[in-house]
Amino acid sequence: QKEVEQNSGPLSVPEGAIASLNCTYSDRVSQSFFWYRQYSGKSPELIMSIYSNGDKEDGRFTAQLNKASQYVSLLIRDSQPSDSATYLCAVRPNTGNQFYFGTGTSLTVIP
Amino acid sequence: DGGITQSPKYLFRKEGQNVTLSCEQNLNHDAMYWYRQDPGQGLRLIYYSQIVNDFQKGDIAEGYSVSREKKESFPLTVTSAQKNPTAFYLCASKGPRHGLGWHEQFFGPGTRLTVL
């Protein structure tokens, strides 16, 4: 069983701060890593994907991957109230087409 | 405008009834998926299909059935054998964004099923 672990939170940060979301995974051969944002009552929306070690930046979002430590994180700079949502981490192994999801971290940005 | 559509948005089922949830995509993606999400929980895979006329069971396939007769369509039937079907059902497809690059998974808007 491939496991993806996230701290369920809730995580609260003040507006303008950096929010840091973490995810660990058990399968060492995982290749692709994804962060989804899910607003209450809505479907998940892909916000970041990362495939190699290091940092990947897209606007206010930075994904960080460390395959040796089996760790992927998402940083949200200058957090806004509109960032308040649940963030899902997903992992896809080298083989097969399945994706494995964590249970999500709830983020609240306080104005 | 490319995307994934699911219908209906809300569905109410009486006990003992079978219901079918629709999922259509015009992204030209080969792989399609059905997930179930319960309150406060992650996504659990019901079925997935890598290609037309082929599909595999996921972690919680009991009480569900699917078909994949066309690349664009992957309907899910929730049968009366599914004992606790009330949940949020999400359809997804996997492929390159805008036809380029790595394969990523994208979700439809979901169907919320309630058993009365």
Using CA atoms, how far residue B29 sits from B56, B73, B93, in Å, is 17, 10, 6
Compute the Cα dihedral for B105, B110, B114, B115 and give only its sign.
negative
- Buried/exposed A29-57: b ≥16 CB within 10 Å, e otherwise: ebebbbbbbbeeeebbebbbbbeeeeeee
Query: pLDDT, tens digit, for every residue of A14-68?
Result: 999 999 999 999 887 778 999 999 999 999 999 999 999 999 999 999 999 999 9
Best A2, A8, A98, A103 member to test B by mutation, with max B CBs in 10 Å, is A98
What region does A104 belong to: left with phi over 0, alpha with psi -120 to 50, or beta? left
Q: Is residue A1 scored above 60 in pLDDT?
A: no
Residues of A in contact with B109 (CB under 8 A): 42-43
Cβ distance A104 to B42 less than 8 Å, yes or no, reads yes
B14 Cα to chain A: minimum distance (Å):
23
- From chain B, the residues in CB contact with A101 under 8 A are 42-43
